[in-house]
Every structure is written in C-alpha cells, then in structure tokens.
Amino acid sequence: MTAETTDHAGAASTHSAPPAPGSPLEQTGAYRGAAVLGWVLSQHRRALLLWGLAVAVVAAIYVSFYPAMGDTGELEALVEGLPDGLIAALGYDGIGTAAGYLESTVFGLLAPILLLVFALAFAARLIAGEEESGELELELTAPVGRRRVYLERAVALAIAVSWLGVVTGTVSLLLVAALDLEVAAWPLVTTTVGLILLVLAMAAISYAVGAATGRRAWALGAGAGVAVAGYMANALAPLLEDGAWLARLSPFAWYLSEDPLVHGLRGAGAAGLLVVAVVAIVVGLLAYERRDLGV
Amino acid sequence: MSADTVIRTEGLVKAYGSGNRRVLALDGLDLEVQRGEVFGFLGPNGAGKSTTIRVLLDQLRPTAGMAEVFGRSPVDGGVGTRARIGYLPGELAMGGRASAGELLHHLTALRGGRGAERIDDLAERLTLDLDRPIRGLSKGNKQKVGVIQAFLHRPELLILDEPTSGLDPLLQHEFLAMVREAQADGATVFMSSHVLSEVESVAGRVAIVRAGRIVDLDEVATLRHHAGQRIELRFDAPVEPAPFAALPGVSDVEVEDSTLRCLLRGEPDALLKAAAGHHVTRWSATDRELEDLFLDHYRMPVTPEEVADDDR
C-alpha cells in the first residue's frame, strides 16, 4: 500500500511571493500518491476483515458439508424428488458431484449474495453516500481532481471485492484439497475470478449511478435491480422453451453457464462482465465530472 | 481586471430545477475581493452565501455569468487553484473511527504534505485533543478540526463559511486572532456569516447578500453606523418624547410611561446630555443585528431625516 505518501512537491517555492496566475508555481502543494485510496481502505479495514471472516465461515461450512451429504447420494436423492424445472432453476442439475454442489451452493448462490450485499452498499456509499452526508466535501475541495477522487475510490471498491472473492476461492481451494474432493484447482481459480468480475460489474453500476446522481438510494437500487433481474433471468431461462436468449442477457449466466467449476470460466463470459464494469465506470466518471456536487 | 483581484464574479447566476420549479440561488451576483483584505460576506440563511462559495471551489457550476479565483475560472484553475485555498465548509460533516490527528494528517497528504508540521501547534492553540475519534467529537470540537485544516497549509486565500458557528467565545477570540495573523502574512480572507458582530472585528469591507444578489457593499464601520444601536432609558418620572426625537442621530423614539426607547446612529453624546437633565434609573444599549439592516434595506423609501442623519 502506497498510502499516506507525502511528497514535498516544489517545497522550495512555497514560501516565496505568491505566484502569478497561470504560472507553473500554481502546482505547489498539489496532490501526489494514493492517499485517497489508502484512506478509504484504512477507514473500512474493520468492515473488510469482518466480511472476509463471514464469507470464509460460510464457504467453509458449505464445502465441509459435502462429504456428509453429497458423497452419500443423499442430496441427489433429495433433489430427484423435485420437479425438473425447479432443479434447473436452482442449478441443482449436477448436485451429485462435488463441482456441481459447490457451483450450486457456494459459487452460484451464497458467495454472490454475500459479496453483492457488501459490494453494492460499499459502492453506493463511496461517492453518493459520503456526498449526501457531506463527508466527501473536504476531499473534493482539496487539490485533488474529481477524476482522481473517483478513480481512486473505484480502485478501493475493486480491491475490497477482490479481497472477498479471494477469501471465498482460497477457503474453497484449501478445503477441497483437505477433504480430497473432486474439484480441479484451475477451474476453481477461474471461477473465483468470475465471481469477482460478476460482483464488480454490479458494484460498478451502483458506483456509477451514485456518482452520476449523488443519491445513495438510486445507486443501491440500480445495482440491486440489475443483480436481481440478472439472477432471475438466469434461473428462469431453463424453464422457457426458447430461454437461451434470456440467459444470454444475464450476467449470472455469463459467469455460471457451462459449469465453470468443471471446465473453467468462459472467456466470453469474463469479457462481458469486464466490459459492463468498465463501461459503467467510464460513464459514471463522465457524468460525475460535469455535475454539481452536494446539492 | 487588476492582478490584485483574488475573487471576482460578474452577473453570477445559479439556478436549480426548471420551468415553474426553477429556483434562483444566485441572481446576478457581482463581487470583487482584493488581495490582502478580510472580506465579510453577510446574509441571512438561504441568501446564496454557500452557493457562491461552492461555485468558487468548483463544487457547483454556474448557470450564467462568470466567476474567477486568482484570475481563472474555478473549472479551469481546478487543482492548481484549490492548492492555494484553505476552505472551511459551512456544514462540516466528518465521521469514522479515525482520530482527529489522523484525519488532519490525511488532509495534509491531499496537499502533498504541506502544513503537517503545524498540526500539533494549531491543535494546542485551539485546545483540540488529536487522539479522540472524530465520530465522538462535539460540534465545537469538529469545528476546531475544520478551522485547523483550513489554516494548516498557510493558504493565500482562506474561504471560511460561517467559521465561528459552534465555537465558544474564548475560541472565537482565538480564531479571530488566527484570521488577523493570516492577513498579516499576506493572505486574503473571505468569510461568510449571518451575524454582523461575528465579522466586524476583523473584516474591512462587507458585502450584504440577499436573494442571490449583493444589496450593499461597504466598510464594516459604515455598516455598523447604519445599523446603529437600540437604546433604552428608564427615568424616575415620565418624559416627553419630542426633545429626544429632535436630537441628532436619534430616531424611532417611543415613550411608555417613564421608559424611553429609540434608535441611535452615530455618537451618543447629545442623547446622554439630554438624558442627564432627568433622573436616569436604568439604561441599556444594544447593537442592532443584520436582520435589522435588512429591514432598513427593504423599508422604502428612506425617510428624509434618516438620510440627513447619515450624511452628517
């Protein structure tokens, strides 16, 4: 972390006569380093640790359950009693295998929900929430450009989401190895990347809407709306006769289709999620640089 | 434009909303603040003080008209302009687990570290405990953090929005001393308030803003003279109002039994001498506040006697 870097830029000129307008001396005392990023992370370090712990515990519990349930065929027997459509909607098609079990529990449902709850709230708070409360004013009136504030805080969001994704992946990987489950390491790593990209895409939408409007509620609503719609589209698509088009629209399908824990994350799916995240961040920035702040 | 003009606005307009719900926060505001002066920016709440300030800091973008700080628009000047400004927001919001010291160090890091070496001195001067977490601080203590962060880097221009709100009288005194020192060091100070008495001991010129326009601009002493004092005199017997009403600088005379109330502009000498002819049992003199000045501004037309008094 390069936080709290203190450069003494142009210190020699600081105490001389006031610089003429437009002279290069105007840059004196300008911002360097990544103090905004460091500050945001240090302000939320406790929340990040606690969320990491929660995600680790949930992942550990679910992975450790598999030998007791899935391996004995009990889960499969349970699921067989359900209607085919419901099985497809829940993604339980492959629940009898370790990879299928992990995909329908940890990576397909619990981790996305936990990470999204944290990430959407965090994204909505980082710009819109702190603008509404007024906390951002001192940062934005300091010699730090709006773009800089926006991008450093976006990086903080990406780091936070990646951290929770990495915790999920690492705990799963360790337990899969410890319990000797039949899940290959590489697909698990790429699925973890997919999980991070999925959550980042939704969080980027919240972040961007928050930056464009300055309203925390709208930011939360936009991200949560896309997440719920995307999840529903992915769950309902298998039930429809020609549901493939619906699944193609869903970020959840980009991440989960074709069993990433068996075959690895699809490149096209990963690219789609990345594009959503980047486009959202760019559009949010353009709007943020043009609007009135704190109104 | 003179090179010594630090802040300039011309016909500055800021509108919110559109159509029937269009609200003008600023309605053609003209302002010029010269290098080295302490400029008071006075007006009631909602007059447009904070809006003006937030345009100068590029938080708000003008609807029409122009604004310049150090000869450049706030948008063009951007980071370079803000590096030369120390700003105390009117509604200071701070939270989090960080201590006051950590926050101040963070804020100096945003300025390339400038001013970090003064944190301890200024905290001691304003009696702020740097180790306490921000979220537990009282309003007054938060205001101290706000004042300190504005002064830390010895900015060329201090923009202070309602700076003394929340500070107790002792600290107000210390704060005003800091303003004077900054001015002695060559800084320009632009401070807003809704109370004349808050700025009158340090400000040179004062602009009065109302409904998004400057309605008066003058030396603070002149404004104080215009505002005058409310005088109340109690005698041991009823008095006639007429002799008092005829005195120079005295107006709005009311007598109720043995109590006389009037408005005094200028020296009290003649009034005191006239009162000395009676037995005075009690007296009080209160400086009139800005609200009264506004009333005067909108009490049109001004009576001839008042004009005569003022031109004396």
3-state SS record for A213-246: HCCHHHHHHHHHHHHHHHHHHHHHHHHCCCCHHH
Task: Tell whether B176 and B275 lie within a shared domain.
Answer: no
Residues from chain B contacting residue A143 (CB–CB below 8 Å): 79-80, 82-83, 110-111
Q: Which of B224, B251, B267 is the last residue of a domain?
A: B224
Looking at the structure, tell me whether residues B218 and B234 fall in a common domain: no
Of A78-92, B37-51, B56-70, B186-200, the one with minimum mean pLDDT is: A78-92
A26, pLDDT greater than 50: no
Total domains present in chain B: 2
Any domain includes B301: no
Q: Please, what is the angle between helix A111-124 and helix A185-213, to 10°?
A: 30
Q: What is the pTM of this model?
A: 0.85
Compare CB distances from A30 to B77, B91, B112 and report the shortest one's residue. Answer: B112
Q: Is the domain of B15 the same as that of B80?
A: yes
For A174-185, what is each residue's pLDDT tens digit?
A: 999 999 999 999
Lowest mean pLDDT among A279-288, B27-36, B82-91, B291-300: B291-300
Query: Which of B203, B224, B245 is the last residue in one of the domains?
Result: B224
The dihedral over CA atoms of A255, A258, A262, A264, expressed in degrees to the nearest 10, equals: -50
Reported confidence tier of residue B1, pLDDT bands at 50, 70, 90: low
Expressed as residue numbers, the domain containing B57 is: 5-84+155-224
- In A132-141, which positions are buried (b, 16+ CB within 10 angstroms) versus exposed (e)? bebbbbbbbb
**Same-domain pairing of B210 and B241:** no
Domain membership flag for residue B14: yes
Beta bridge partners of B217: B207
Same domain, B239 and B266: yes
The pLDDT-based confidence of A295 (bands split at 50, 70, 90) is confident
Of B152-156, B187-191, B276-280, which gets the smallest average pLDDT?
Answer: B276-280
* Residues B246 and B219 placed together within one structural domain of the fold: no
Summarised one tens digit per residue, pLDDT across range B54-95 is: 999 999 999 999 999 999 999 999 999 999 999 999 989 988
- Whether the CB of B116 is below 8 Å from some CB of chain A: the reply is yes
Is residue B37, in this structure, part of any structural domain at all? Answer: yes
Which of B58, B69, B110 is the best mutation test for A, with the most CBs of A within 10 A? B110
pLDDT tens track for A229-284: 999 999 888 888 888 888 889 999 999 988 999 999 999 999 999 999 999 999 99
The confidence score (pLDDT) of residue A163 equals 98
CATH code, B161:
3.40.50.300
Q: What are phi and psi of B259, to 5 degrees?
A: -110, 130
Among residues B190, B224, B258, the one where a domain terminates is B224
B32 shares a domain with B48: yes
B201 domain-assigned: yes
Q: Are residues B176 and B52 in the same domain?
A: yes
Chain centroid, CA B142 distance in Å: 20
Q: Which residue has the higher pLDDT, A95 or A200?
A: A200
The residue ranking higher by pLDDT, A74 or B31, is B31
Chain B residues whose beta carbon lies within 8 Å of the beta carbon of residue A5: 109
- Do B220 and B234 belong to one domain? no
- What residues of chain A lie within 8 A of the CB of B95, using their CB? 133, 135
Q: Is residue B310 in some structural domain? A: no
- Give the best residue of A39, A131, A290 to mutate against chain B (max B CB count within 10 A): A39
Q: Which residues of A touch B3 (CB under 8 A)?
A: 20-21
In a domain, B118, yes or no: no
Q: What is the pLDDT of residue A85?
A: 75
B136 shares contact with chain A (CB less than 8 Å): no
Q: Which positions in chain B touch A42 (Cβ < 8 Å)?
A: 98
Q: Are B250 and B205 contained in the same domain?
A: no
Contact A94, A103 (CB under 8 A): yes
The complex scores an ipTM of 0.83
B111 part of a folded domain: no
Distance from CA of B83 to the nearest CA of A (A): 5
Of residues B216, B181, B220, B227, the one with CA closest to residue B198: B220
Q: Are residues B276 and B196 in the same domain?
A: no
Same domain (yes/no): B52, B69? yes
B91: region left, alpha or beta (phi > 0 left; psi from -120 to 50 alpha): beta
What Cα–Cα distance (Å) separates residue A25 from each residue in A237, B3, B55? 61, 16, 23
Residue B78 lies in a domain: yes
